Chain A
Amino acid sequence: MKCKHIKVKFPDFLIGELEDISKKEIQEHVSTCFSCREELESLSEIWTKLGVLPQEQPSDSLRSRFYGMLDAYKQGLEQEKVKPRVHKLQGGWLTHWWPRQPAFQVTFSLALLLVGLTAGYLLNLNGKKVYEVASLRQEVQGMRQTLAISLLEQSSPTERLRGVGLSYRMEKPNKKIIQSLLDILDNDSNVNVRLAAVDALYLFHDNPTVKEGLIQSLSRQTSPLVQVSLIDLMVNMHERRAIESLKQLIQDEKFNPDVKNHAEQGIQQLTY
């Protein structure tokens, strides 16, 4: 009987939260009861031993993912409140060479918050790591759209590249995303980002706005690389309306001879 009464106090003994009277009671008991002493000793031993398990530090990416999520969530909340605001994109090539943006994006830089939590895994089609939080899915979709747009507006080109990458993984990008991608194609100061935008937009070329935007964009491009990519795209779209723009391009002095060649080949393929 006594033993049972004593043993009940062991857990409190372990965490050291026992009044002196009870402690004394235990000590007196175990000094005479061998089995209780043995049990208390082995409990204490393993309990103490557990102390060698180190406290580990999570990697830095945990923090950045968290702040990315928080930013995106805040943004999502604001977007709910305010009507969609008109967003400005990168302007011309030289005018925006010195954007006055502070480097605050460090936290945002990993704003692919969802990468870890959900979106990334939802995208991971290999199935192994699929980690769906089904109830959050809807919310995540919305946040991804918001996130993609906010990434597309970042001053860092890797962020914009990431935004482009995120948009073309969407099944149904909303109007804003399409518009942002078209704006990037026409105005982004970085050739690499414009190139990525061409590719992303190709996925949505069934959308009339996209089709029109792509044809229009050809004459606005200054980089031969982007011009060539757009020509390839027109050919792949089987877009006969593009023939006119291509013909104009061939007439235009300012275009690179290789680009003109490319355009000629394109016209042949389209009329064939």
Chain B
Amino acid sequence: MNSTTDNQLMEEVKEGKVERLAILFERHQVPLYNFFLRLTGNRGTSEDLVQDVFFRILKYRSTYRGESKFTIWMYQIARNAHIDHLRKRKEEIPLEEQWDEASSREPGPSESVEQLQDIVLLRQALAKLPLKKREVLVLSRFQNLKYKEIAELFDCHIGTVKAHVHRATKELGKIYFKLSGGMVS
């Protein structure tokens, strides 16, 4: 059933079968939502952004070129949507404050209190990372994008991406270490 590739589907959408976008939405809404969630730390904003991405896909469907992977194109749109969102938002709420509501939630059945604490610290640490490093890290660690694909997305050399990942991870480790009170668990 899911054998039709993303690229084929997007070609169909481009040709006017816009209802085929539904399949792409079902495939990518959750990863995309989590991508935004890790960038913005805000659930409502993340949902709005996902909606925005799919709207833009419809709007700009004629500009889709099938030569690269659909996901790369999608994340390109996603990054633009996010940047526009940051630009539009005048009074910027510091990212680390946005997670407060999430951190106060009850631990899920599979999460221990310690794990929950880790989650909170990691989110805070991520939020302190500069945007580009955060993006690279999230894309490579969570969105299953290959370095080569990220390079295509950022329009830079693969070596630059790797260097970014390296530095971002290192920096995140330092921030995390500092936040956790200098204790290594």
Interfacial residues, chain A to chain B (CB-CB below 8 A): 7-8, 10-12, 14-15, 17, 39, 42-43, 45-47, 49-50, 52-59, 61-63, 65-67, 69-70, 73-74, 77, 113, 116-118, 130-133, 136, 139
Contacts and interface: CB of A to CB of B under 8 A. Distances in A.
Interface in B66-97: 84-85, 88-89
B88 A132 contact: yes
Most buried by B among A59, A66, A73: A66
B147 A62 contact: no
24 contacts: A11-B140, A11-B161, A11-B162, A11-B163, A12-B147, A39-B170, A43-B169, A45-B173, A46-B176, A50-B122, A53-B119, A54-B111, A55-B34, A56-B37, A58-B50, A66-B22, A69-B55, A73-B18, A74-B19, A77-B18, A131-B85, A131-B88, A132-B88, A133-B84
Given A43-B173, A52-B119, A56-B34, A62 B50 contact: yes
B22 A61 contact: no
Given A67-B22, A74-B18, A117-B52, A57 B30 contact: yes
Interface residues of B, number: 50
Given A50-B172, A133-B84, 5 more contacts: A11-B165, A12-B162, A56-B34, A66-B54, A131-B48
A14 B18 contact: no
B123 A116 contact: no
Contacts of B146: 17
A113 B51 CA distance: 9
